[in-house]
Amino acid sequence: MHACKCNVINKSCCTIKIYDKRDDFDFDIVNFPSLERDIPMSPSYGTHLSQLIRFARVCNKVEDFNDRNSIIFRKLLKQGFLYHKLRKTFAKFYNRHFDLVEQFNSSLIKLIEEGISHPRFYGDFLKKIKKVKYKTNGVFLQHTVSLITQDVLNRKYNKHILKNTCSLVLSSEKQDGRPYSFINQ
């Protein structure tokens, strides 16, 4: 904790920001478990949860909290963590430790929008589309994928990344000679 100029240990009277000297290095430091190893998944996602608790206890501005959350999110995605499971871990943190995040006066959706790094594609969305593509053999493909897309858009997934994810699976699929377009411009 940081002591203020007035020698009172109180987060509300001054700005507290986390500084991690490892962020200044121009090489990657692996300080979280890699999911490519033979380790249980649940404790690995627990490291994300414990870091969120630490950030919320130290930061007193939502921008600082979101910045730290975004940094750790990027690191964990690079190490093989799944986007949708990290989101679930974040939601679990928000609901179980609301006493820590209520100081930020932000909803869960707002914290997700502003403090979570998005990957180049969504693995959970990709898996669902592949499953639909191979199960339906093209019958009702557009309708089914549109419903799945609307569901994830409601959960604030990024439209651009959803389009990229769709193109990974459906790049050769066409309807009436035109490529499928499941996400409205």
pLDDT at 92: 94
Distance, in Å, from the CA atom of 84 to the CA atom of 55, rounded to the nearest integer, reads: 21
- Least confident range from 18-22, 27-31, 84-88: namely 27-31
What is the DSSP annotation of 55-77? HHHH--SHHHHHHHHHHHHHHHH
Q: Distance (Å, rounded) from C-alpha 86 to C-alpha 82?
A: 6
pLDDT reading at 14 higher than 60: no
> Which has more pLDDT, 60 or 24?
60
